[in-house]
Amino acid sequence: MSNLDRQATPSVCGGRGFVVAEPVRELLAPRHVQLGGSTEVRRLLPNLGRRMVGAWAFVDHYGPDDIADEPGMQVPPHPHMGLQTVSWLHDGEVLHRDSLGSLQTVRPRELALMTSGRAISHSEESPKEHARLLHGAQLWVALPDAHRNVEPHFQHHAELPVVTAPGLSATVILGELDGAASPGTAYTPIVGADLSLTGGAETRLPLDPDFEYAVLSMSGEAEVDGVPVLPGSMLYLGCGRTELPLRALSDAGLMLLGGEPFEEELVMFWNWIGRSQEEIEQARQDWMEGARFGEVKGYDGTRLPAPELPPVPLKARGRVR
């Protein structure tokens, strides 16, 4: 899933100005965005005052939605550059197509990792015969300057490493957690993990004090460092932590996101991450007029046009705490 907002505006993200160098408990409320006819997402990143968590630059949570009599997810072909997309499901299936010719059905707890590099396009849709429920998260990882023009590629990993403790099962989606490493390709020090907690469980998750972290609640009732985090909300935790207390009031699903603070300042607009407004303008022109982003074959429908880019130049408005 991607950004289908027709009123998209450019935003500056990255850089040390937005990073909190000490442990905090900052609860982020989502912005509700309609995606197609039957799917509403809760957008947690970018958020007012909180643009990134490590290299994680975009987080949408959706569902659980009953799509038994609905088409479900229908995201037409659209472009990306300068980022990786991470598709993560708890319920349902999504059919991924891209301009490299990839065709992959993604199922719950399987990693679909698309590295756009210099340019790629893709579509996502619920299969015609699909399960009743659709529930998951779509995330983007910003690529550092040294790798942002790599050749685009797609990875699918059905088997991922799992870290366990009493009442906890943690699937490592990207990066490394407690010595277990995901097979997905990462370009910055990062971690993404899916946490399943049984009701009544209390545990402490080891963290890297050099990383900044956030926790997204997917389902159930849980407390993160003593703060209740309800489904569809995210708790930003800052840096400087060596462990994270977790307590499940019921069976609960969480996502841990973290990484070294992203040093570079970025410009994000629609489905692109660049370094300047001029670069974004060129990407828009290439998508509307050229063949740079390739063609997605097999999707029954037309590709998405890019929204208009506001003419006002961007200025960084970082903050230091």
Res. 318: pLDDT tops 60: no
- Which helix (DSSP H) or strand (DSSP E) does residue 122 occupy? strand 120-125
* pLDDT tens readout for residues 180-231: 999 999 999 999 999 999 999 999 999 999 999 999 999 999 999 999 999 9
Given pLDDT bands bounded at 50, 70 and 90, which one contains residue 282?
very high
Q: Which letter does DSSP use for residue 93 in this model? A: -
pLDDT given at position 274: 97
pLDDT given at position 14: 66
Q: Which whole number is the average pLDDT over 141-163?
A: 98
Res. 244: pLDDT tops 60: yes
Q: What are the φ/ψ torsions at residue 182 (nearest 5 degrees)?
A: -70, 145
Res. 250: pLDDT tops 80: yes
CA distance 259 to 273: 18
Residue ranges of alpha helices (H) inside the chain are 277-289
pLDDT given at position 8: 65
pLDDT given at position 291: 84
Site of tokens 């990792």: 113
Kindly state the greatest CA–CA separation across the chain. 56
Q: Which whole number is the average pLDDT over 237-247?
A: 98
The structural domains of the chain, ordered by start, are: 21-257 (2.60.120.10)
* pLDDT tens readout for residues 164-181: 999 999 999 999 999 999
Higher-confidence residue: 19 or 98? Answer: 98
CA distance 111 to 183: 9
Which amino acid appears at position 125 of this protein?
E
Residue ranges of alpha helices (H) inside 91-232 are none
pLDDT given at position 147: 98
Contacts of residue 111, Cβ cutoff 8 Å, sequence gap at least 6 = 86, 87, 88, 155, 156, 157, 160, 173, 174, 182, 183, 184
- Which letter, b or e, does each residue of 103-112 get, where b requires 16 or more Cβ atoms within 10 Å of its Cβ? ebebeebbbb
pLDDT given at position 9: 62
pLDDT given at position 13: 73
The percent of the chain in helix, strand and coil, each rounded to the nearest 5, is 5, 50, 45
Other C-beta atoms closer than 10 Å to the C-beta of 298 total: 10
Q: Which whole number is the average pLDDT over 15-30?
A: 85
Given pLDDT bands bounded at 50, 70 and 90, which one contains residue 37?
low
Q: Which two tokens stand for residue 275?
A: 């370094």
Contacts of residue 46, Cβ cutoff 8 Å, sequence gap at least 6 = 11, 13, 52, 57, 58, 268
